[in-house]
Amino acid sequence: MISEAPSVEPLRAGVIGLGYAGEQHLKNYARVPGVEPVALAGLERDRLRELGTRYGVPDLYTSWEDLVAREDLDIVSIGTPNHLHAPIAVAALEGGRHVLCEKPLARTGEEAQQIVDAALAADRAVHTAFTQRERGDVQALKRHVDEGNLGRVYHSKATWMRRNGIPGMGGWFTSKELAGGGPLIDLGVHMVDMALYLMGGPEVESVSCATYAELGPQGRGGWSGSGLMRGDNPYEVEDLATAFLRLSGGATMTLETGWAVYRESSDDFGVTLYGTEGGAEMLVRNYGTSNTVRIYTDVAGVPAVVMPEIEPREGHYAVVKRFVETIHSGDWKGQHGEDGLDRARIIDACYASALQNREVSMEEFRADR
Interface residues toward ligand NAD, by CB under 6 A: 16-22, 41-44, 63-64, 79-82, 84, 102-103, 129, 131, 168, 186, 227-229
The count of C-alpha atoms lying within 13 angstroms of the C-alpha of 363, restricted to the half-sphere facing its C-beta, is: 2
DSSP states of 39-104: EEE-S-HHHHHHHHHHTT--EEES-HHHHHH-SS-SEEEE-S-GGGHHHHHHHHHHTT-EEEEESS
Q: Which is nearer to ligand NAD, 170 or 279 (CB)?
A: 170
Cβ closest to ligand NAD, residue 80 vs residue 174:
80
Q: Rounded to the nearest whole angstrom, what is the least distance from the CB of residue 73 to ligand NAD in the complex?
A: 15
- DSSP per-residue string spanning 258-281: ESS-SS-SSEEEEEEEEESS-EEE
Q: What one-letter code names the amino acid at 149?
A: N
Q: Which is nearer to ligand NAD, 128 or 251 (CB)?
A: 128
Instruction: Please report the DSSP string for 327-341 in residue order.
Output: HHHT--TT-BSHHHH
Residue nearest ligand NAD (C-beta atom):
19
Pairing of strands 98-102, 75-78: parallel
User: Which CB atom, from 138 or from 295, has the smaller least distance to ligand NAD?
Assistant: 138
Residue 216 Cα distances to 82, 183, 243, angstroms? 19, 11, 20
Q: Least distance (Å) from ligand NAD to the CB of residue 345?
A: 17
Q: Quick one: 59 or 205, whose CB is closer to ligand NAD? A: 59
Nearer to ligand NAD, 44 or 338 (CB): 44
DSSP-based three-state secondary structure for 115: helix
What minimum distance in Å lies between the beta carbon of 293 and ligand NAD?
A: 20
Q: Least Å distance between CB 219 and ligand NAD?
A: 19
Closest separation between CB of residue 189 and ligand NAD, Å? Answer: 8
- Minimum CB separation from ligand NAD for residue 262, in Å? 24
The residue among 111 and 186 lying less far from ligand NAD, judged by its C-beta, is 186
User: Alpha-carbon distance 223 to 258, whole Å?
Assistant: 12
Task: Kindly report whether the peptide bond that precedes residue 104 is cis, defined as omega within 30 degrees of 0.
Answer: yes
- Residue closer to ligand NAD (CB basis): 134 or 342: 134
Coil, helix or strand at residue 247 = strand
Q: What angle do CA 37, 328, 61 make, to 5 degrees?
A: 20
280 phi and psi, to 5 degrees? -155, 150
Give the integer Cα–Cα distance in Å for 62 and 297: 55
Q: Give me the least distance between CB of 21 and ligand NAD, in Å please.
A: 3
**Cβ of residue 109: shortest distance to ligand NAD, in angstroms?**
16
For residue 253, the one-letter residue type is M
